[in-house]
Amino acid sequence: MTPAPDDLTERVRQFVSDRTGARLDRVQLETRLRADLGVDGDDARELLDAFSREFDVDPSGLQFDEHFGSEGFPFEMGFLGLVVVVAVFGIWHWKWWVAASILLAVAFHLIQRRSAPDPDALRVRHLVRAVRTGRLDDGTVFSDAGPSEPAS
């Protein structure tokens, strides 16, 4: 049975909901910031900066690039889109290249984001644990030691 959420958990959930625009009912302890809420790149950095200020948490030990990607356009997928359009349709007009590149990049991003389980994903429960320990780093947040649920 899942323990009842405590005030701290609710504060963290509300913070994530407010910052991401996600409905509060979508923000649960197991919610992944990147895959489930779409927080990535600069948005992720801004969210974690605001989180560290709001909850007085030191984020210096978090390996940001291990948990989040960039917001930029995936160049390799755009190039692949150009090749596919030219090869399949024989279309050389630049507007078709751009359209195909964007569509393929978006499709690839969505598939990649949701495809495989992500055991190293930063989740809301990790943020709750970070508030309790005062540190948002990979060693503390992802260890089995330390509370992530309300203390009894």
* Domains defined for the chain, CATH in brackets: 7-68+122-141 (1.10.1200.10), 75-113 (no CATH)
pLDDT at 142: 73
**36 alpha carbon, distance to own chain's centre:** 7
Distance CA 23, CA 1 (A): 24
pLDDT at 70: 65
pLDDT at 93: 67
**53 alpha carbon, distance to own chain's centre:** 19
Contacts of residues 109-116 at CB distance under 8 Å and 24 or more positions apart, as own/partner, are 109/74, 109/77, 113/34, 113/35, 113/38, 114/35
pLDDT at 110: 63
pLDDT at 2: 41
Token pair in block for residue 35? 């895959």
pLDDT at 29: 94
The DSSP bridge partners found for residue 77 are none
User: Which residues of the chain are under the pLDDT cut of 50?
Assistant: 1-4, 115-116, 145-152
Phi/psi of residue 32, each to 5°? -90, 130
Model pLDDT for residues 96-128, shown as the tens digit of each residue: 667 767 777 777 666 655 544 566 789 999 999
